[in-house]
Amino acid sequence: MRRILVSILFIIFPNIALSVSKGITGATFLKIDALPRPSGLGGGFSAIADDLSSLYYNPAGLARIKLPEGVTSGGKWIGESRFGIIGYCSPVAENSGFGASIFYLKTDKMPLYKDTTSSNPEGEFDATNLCIRFGCGIEISKDNYFGIVGGWINQRIEKEKSNSFFIDIGEIYRPWFLNKAQFSVVLQNIGRKIKFINEEDKFPSTLRVGICYEIVDSANVVCDFVKPIDYSWKVQCGIEWQVNDILTLRGGYNSQVFQDLGAGVTLGLGIMLSTFQFDYAYVPYDDLGDTHRFSFKTHFGKR
C-alpha cells in the first residue's frame, strides 16, 4: 500500500512526497482550496464566509446565507487530476441556514513506483477521492454566528477503499465596538484515524483563525492564520473588491505555497448577471503548473 501512496503523492503532492517515510496525515485532498471565490482570496475566507463555500471554510457562514443557491464547480488540479463540486445551500429561517455538497478528486492512470528512489514503474493505478458534507449555521446572538459540518469521505486507490467521518465547527463574531471588522475561529477535519489495510494516518485537522475588515463599502480585506496538524503556521490573505453590480475582482496570497514552491499569488473574479453568477480563480504552482477553478451559481430569488 505504501508503494501506491508514494506514487500518488509524487503526482498530486510532489512537495511532500518525501515525508512518507516519516508519516503524514491522510485524506490530504481535504486541504485543496477547490472553490474559486476562496481560492482567489488565497484561501483566506473563514471570516467572510456567507455562501456555499462556508461548508469548506467556516460552517458559521451558513447562518448568513440570504437566498437559496445551487452551485457547480470544477477545475484542473496538479498533473492530470481533476476535481468537482456540486452543492446547495439555503436559509432555513431568518437567522439560520443549511448546506450540502459533494466533492470529488480523480486522477488518470499513473505509474506505480516501488519507493521514492525507484525510476522504473512497476505498473499503473488510478485514484478517486469523494467527500459528502452536510452543515448548518445559526445566529446565536446579535452578530455572533455558530455552525457545524459533518462529513463522510471515501478514498479509493486501485482496488483498496477506505471510509471515514469527520466534523468541522466554526464561529464568526462582529464586535459592537468595531463594526467594520469580523473575526472567526474554525476547527476543521476532526476525526478518528484513517485506515487503509493495516496502515493508519491522522486526519488533516486544522485550526483556522481569521479576520475580515471592510476598508470601503465595496471592498474587504481578509486574512486567515492557519495551523495544520502536520505543518507550521501559514497565512492566507486577500482582497475582494466589488467594482459594480456585475463585476467583482479578487487577489490573494498563500504563504505555504510560496514557501514550498516559490509561488503563492492568486487571482480571481466574479461576474453576476441577474440570478446567475460565474466565478473563476487562477492559482499557479510554479514548476508544477497552473491550476484553474470555475463555478456556476444560481440564486433562487431576488437579491
Round to whole Å and give the CA distance between 23 and 57.
26
pLDDT at site 115: 63
Of 64, 49, 47, nearest to 139 by C-alpha is 64
The CATH code of the domain that includes 168 is: 2.40.160.60
Pairing of strands 82-93, 123-125: unpaired
pLDDT at site 99: 97
Each residue of 225-263: pLDDT tens digit?
999 988 889 999 999 999 999 999 999 999 876 566 556
pLDDT at site 176: 86
pLDDT band at 301 (very low <50, low <70, confident <90, very high): confident
pLDDT at site 108: 74
Round to whole Å and give the CA distance between 218 and 220.
7
DSSP symbols for 284-296: E-GGG-EEEEEEE
Identify residue 142 by its one-letter amino acid code. K
Beta bridge partners of 132: 102, 152
pLDDT band at 198 (very low <50, low <70, confident <90, very high): confident
Each residue of 153-178: pLDDT tens digit?
998 877 778 899 999 999 999 998 88
Round to whole Å and give the CA distance between 85 and 276.
17
DSSP 8-state assignment for residue 245: S
pLDDT at site 160: 79
> How many domains in the chain?
1
pLDDT at site 4: 46
Averaged pLDDT of the chain: 85
Read off the pTM.
Answer: 0.86
Q: Which parts of the chain are beta strand (E)? A: 69-76, 82-93, 96-106, 110-112, 123-125, 127-141, 144-157, 160-173, 181-190, 194-196, 199-201, 206-216, 219-228, 234-242, 247-254, 265-273, 276-284, 290-299
Round to whole Å and give the CA distance between 107 and 117.
22
The boundaries of the domain holding residue 60 are 2-299
Each residue of 30-58: pLDDT tens digit?
888 889 999 999 999 999 999 999 999 99
Q: What percent of the chain has pLDDT over 70?
A: 84
pLDDT at site 303: 61
Round to whole Å and give the CA distance between 47 and 165.
25
Backbone angles phi, psi at 218, to 5 degrees: -115, 10
